Structure formats: structure tokens, C-alpha cells
Amino acid sequence: EQFQIKEILNQNTYLVGGELKTWRGQTSDIYSTISSTEAYQPTYLGTIPTLGKKEAISALDAAVEAYDKGQGLWPTMKVVDRIACMEKFVEQMKTKRDEVVKLLMWEIGKNLPDSQKEFDRTVEYIYDTIEDYKDMDRNSAKFQKHDGVHAHIRRGPLGVVLCLGPYNYPLNETFALLIPAIIMGNTTIFKPAKFGVLLLSPLIEAFQNSFPKGVVNIIYGRGRTVAAPIMQTGKVDVLALIGNSKSANALQNQHPKSNRLRLVLGLEAKNPAIVLPDADLDLAISECIAGTTSFNGQRCTALKVLYVHEAIIEEFNKRFSEKVDTLKFGNPWEDGAKLTPLPEPDKPSYIQELIDDATAKGALVINKKGGKTTENYIFPAVLYPVSKDMRVFQEEQFGPVIPVVPFSDIEEPLNDMAESNYGQQVSLFGKDVKTLAPLIDTLVNLVCRVNLNSSCQRGPDVYPFTGRKDSAVATLSVHDALRSFSIRTFVASKDN
């Protein structure tokens, strides 16, 4: 009962230049694929403004004016005062936990424990960012002297940041971009993703109350209508986006100096697990379950292909697929619901296409419940044996389908990883240190994080989050993001 949506959110305001503007134009209705009844029906959640180019440009103008070529109140503000604004924001944000958690469940179908975790983790991220920023300031304030040249090195802002977040972590990943960009003295325009758009509304006033006008501007609408015209002006200094390469490339290319634009991007990944013959199978199976099925596989950090050694494949497949079938499907607030409805209406049919393609080319769905659909869900299908010619091997599925690839020689997964367009993380399961040590040395040069006997994940958020090749540009983490959204500047003087 406490999680039901009782009041419809008519969010007809957006934030520009410190003012909550009331929108009287076209709006979009937001529906949830989650149903509070057993019979599936899309649930109307609320309405958001569908802004046009004019409103988008007004948000950009507000950010440009607030930055004022680096002379504005915000980029020149003392560190201690900027921190006070951020502390005010996070204190106000904390009062909105219940509303935001409820919207996370309704809008994107994230289960209750994960929705709570996303909120709490984001609050922690903000506090950690404040502490790291203080450290950065303390350390950089030191004077240095080399060869008779004194230097006072600091980190300064880059300018105007256009920030776009993803639907799977509409709070945490969005704030992982926005918060460091703001605290470093940049000014920002933020456009949320299509799903997870309403959950910003309980926080919009906290942004308005906490930061000087124009520092944070929040707009809604279609990317090509609002984000593209902003990029075309050439006034954006940093494009910060977590999502897909297609959107990132399209926006980057709108910028007249696209090759000079600074990018902070978190993009696709196809993280593999490699299960060696001596792996602890209980551990490997439970970690692979978490890695492939948590939030229905809709994580850039999800395990998206499992390489299992031939010597143990039979036992692995049997136990793994049986365990997948024990996962409970339900509404996000239901006790123990691990699998939840999918927010993207076309996702079940896309996953079905991948299954059909793989089975037509010789793979089998090896778990009993695999591929069973309801209108807004498809049960995770474990596919075996998967080969390179199958779409599920090539594409980032971002949903509930689990390809299992047998291997006899470790060179097989290593070669695939070297040829892949992606390079975020890998999970390696095995016991023998003599085998693992050289393998780890190889793997760290193919991806950016090797998870030993554990599934891939982004957190804890203090650790570097990045990727090689098409998986990322720049590095996030509490510490790294402050650096990604700033530049080193210094004042030098000579001994006379």
C-alpha cells in the first residue's frame, strides 16, 4: 500500500536561470510498465513538459551567463562557499528519499532494495565528493618550487557542461556526472533520460534553493529537439553522457568544433566472465547469477557473456540454469522480487529476436523457464552453446538473456576480448595462483577492471570507472570525476 502511486505528478515546470518556469505547451504522458494489479496494464504516472528549441537555448544561455567566461559568481566562488551550497543540496535531497525511491520502482522497475541502495549510494557519493574536493583544494593550495620557478597549482572549471544520464541509474549515474561538474565550478544543463524522468521532480527545488541561478538548469524533451540545438551553438565545453554511443556520437557531431569538445562518456560494454576448470563452482554460479540478472541485466557493468571451460561446462550449465529458474519475478516492492518488469516496451521482443537468432543457428535455451514472456517481461534465457555468428554474442543485449560459450583454450576468450569493440571489465573465476597471476596481467591490458572470483560492478563508487575502446571516454569515480570535469591551472613566478 505504501508504495502505490496515489497522486499523479503533473510536473509542468522546468528549471532555467534559477527560476521554475511553468510550461503551457506540449506535454508527454509518462506511463509505467509496472502494474499494481495482476492483470498487466500500463499505469499513468504523470506528465512532463516537451520543451522546444527556444526553451533549450534559454537554458543554455542561462548556463553561459552564469559561467560568464569564467568570471561568474560560481566559477570564481571560494571553495568553502561552493561546498556549503553542495551541503545544502544534499541535506534537502535526503528529505526526498521515499518519493524518489517510489518513483525509481514505478518508472524503471528497479526492486525496492536496489532502489533504496541507489538513493543512499548517491547521497554517499555526494558526501565523498565534498571530502575529496576539500582534499584536492588542500593539496593543490601548496606552493611548489622547481629550478627557481614557484608555482601555485590549482584545478579550475572547464565551462558549460551538457549532461545526459541513462535510464538504468537515473539518479546515481546522472549525479555521478552532474555533482562533480557542478562542484568544480562549471555550469550545467541537464536533460534526464526518457525513463526515470519524473524522479527528478522531487529534487528540482533542492537544486533551485541550493545553487546560484544558472548553475543547474534542468530541461525535458527529445534529444534531437533540445540537446542537438544546444550543441549546434558551439557554446558547450563538455559533453557528459552515460548511455549509448549512437546518442553520444550524434550529439558530438552537432558541435561545430566536435574534435575539440571535451567528452566524459560512459558507453556500452560486453563484460565476459571466464570460468576456469578449477573454479569454486558454487561461488562462480552465484556471482554469475548476480552479474547477469541483477536489474534484469540492464547494467553496463552486467556480465553479458559467460565463457566456461569444457571440463566443467556440463555441471555448470545444469546448476546455473536451475538456479536462474528459482529467481522470483514480481513487482519491485514485492519481497524477494529479483526479476521485475522492463521499462522499455520493445525490450521483450528484442530479447526474443536474439533468442530466435541463436536457436536458429544451433543454440538451445537450457533453462526450463527461459524465454517465457508476459506483456512486460521475458524470463532470462540461458543460451548454450553460443558462437560468434550469433547476434547475442555480438550485441550488447542489456536485458535478460545469458549466452554461455564453451572454451578449451584460454586463448579463445582472450582473442575474443582483444577483437571486441568494448573493454570495460571481466570476471575471472579460478583458484590456482600460478594460472591466475599471468592471466590477470594480460586481462588488465584488455579491460579496466578485473574482478577476481566476483561479478563485474561499478561500485564502490570511489573506485575508477572507465573502459577501453568504445566503452568510455574519461574516468569517473569520486576522485577521478573531479579531475575529468576540471583542468589544472597555475600561477608561476620566478626568483628575482
Query: Applying CB under 6 A, which residues contact ligand G3H?
Result: 168-169, 173, 299-301, 457-459
Parallel, antiparallel, or unpaired: how do β-strands 271-275 and 303-309 relate? parallel
Q: Which is nearer to ligand G3H, 25 or 113 (CB)?
A: 113
Q: How far is the CB of 301 from ligand G3H (least distance, A)?
A: 4
Residue 112 or residue 390: which is nearer to ligand G3H going by CB?
112
Establish how many alpha carbons lie within 13 A of residue 250's alpha carbon, considering only the half-sphere containing its beta carbon: 12
Q: Does 192 sit behind a cis peptide bond, omega within 30 degrees of 0 on the bond before it? A: no
Q: Are 422 and 471 in contact (CB under 8 A)?
A: yes
Q: Is the dihedral of CA 206, 175, 395, 294 positive or negative?
A: negative
User: Are 90 and 123 in contact, with CB atoms under 8 Å apart?
Assistant: yes
Min CB(340)–ligand G3H separation in Å: 15
Report yes or no: 279 and 490 within 8 Å, Cβ to Cβ: no
In terms of DSSP H, where are the helices of 211-258? 228-232, 245-254
Pick the closest to residue 442 from 466, 478, 417, 460 (CA basis): 417
C-alpha span between 183 and 31 (Å, rounded): 34
244 burial type by CB count under 10 A (0-12 exposed, 13-18 middle, 19+ buried): middle
Nearest approach, Cβ of 86 to ligand G3H (angstroms)? 22
Q: Which is nearer to ligand G3H, 111 or 168 (CB)?
A: 168
**Closest CB to ligand G3H among 365 and 447?**
447
Q: Measured from the CB of residue 65, what is the shortest distance to ligand G3H in angstroms?
A: 33
Contact assessment for residue 383 and residue 402, using Cβ atoms and an 8 Å cutoff: yes
Tell me whether residue 32 or residue 298 sits nearer to ligand G3H (CB atom). 298
* Closest CB to ligand G3H among residues 23, 465: 465
Whole-number minimum distance, CB 171 to ligand G3H, in Å?
Answer: 11
d(CA 86, CA 212): 11
Which residue, 390 or 456, has its beta carbon nearer to ligand G3H?
456
97-108 helix and 112-140 helix, angle to the nearest 10 degrees:
120
Please tell me whether the peptide bond between 343 and the residue prior to it is cis, using omega within 30 degrees of 0: no
Is 122 within 8 Å of 165 (Cβ atoms)?
no
Minimum Å distance from CB 241 to ligand G3H?
A: 13
Residue closer to ligand G3H (CB basis): 46 or 165: 165
Pick 166 or 348: Cβ nearer ligand G3H: 166
H or E segment to which residue 289 belongs: helix 281-293
